[in-house]
Amino acid sequence: MKEVRARIRFASPAEATEVISYGIPIVKYKGMLVGYAAFTNHCSFFPMSYAVIRKFKKELEGFLAAKGTIRFPVDRPLSATLVKKLVKARVAEKNQK
């Protein structure tokens, strides 16, 4: 999860902040941007946007993706490139509002 956090922070705007909300780490930028968490049998990345998940559907093949959650095995994290794309897409959504 340290790697996922670092990837999120790298792709987030400088003014983004980190908080704990819903019992998980959340990065905030104009509201909730993305979150992440580790569980017993998997890890999750929360883009908090079904539109973003749909946009990257092809790249998320092999991962369990639902409305606002992308699950991945502990030993197979999301790639740095994919995390960057997901975060940048969320930032773009936030900037459009």
pLDDT in tens, 75-93: 888 999 999 999 999 999 9
pLDDT of residue 15: 97
Q: Can you give the pLDDT at residue 67?
A: 84
pLDDT, greater one: 5 or 97 = 5
This prediction's pTM: 0.92
The better pLDDT of the pair 43, 68 is held by 43
- Count of CB atoms within 10 A of residue 14's CB? 6
Contact 8, 87 (CB under 8 A): yes
Number of domains in the chain: 1
DSSP 85: H
| Structural domain contains residue 18 | yes
The answer to whether residue 83 is domain-embedded is yes
Contact 25, 37 (CB under 8 A): yes
**CATH code, domain with 70:** 3.90.1150.200
Q: Is residue 93 part of a domain?
A: no
Question: Residue 27: inside a domain, yes or no?
Answer: yes
**94 belongs to a structural domain:** no
Task: Tell me the backbone φ, ψ of residue 20, rounded to 5 degrees.
Answer: -105, 125
Residue 96, in any domain of the structure: no
Specify the pLDDT at position 1: 83
Query: Under a CB-based contact definition with an 8 Å cutoff, are residues 57 and 65 in contact?
Result: yes
| pLDDT, tens only, 8-58 | 999 999 999 999 998 999 999 999 999 999 999 999 999 999 999 999 999
- Please compute, for residue 25, the number of CA atoms within 13 A of its CA located in the half-sphere on the CB side: 17
Domain of residue 78 covers 2-88
38: amino acid identity, one letter: A
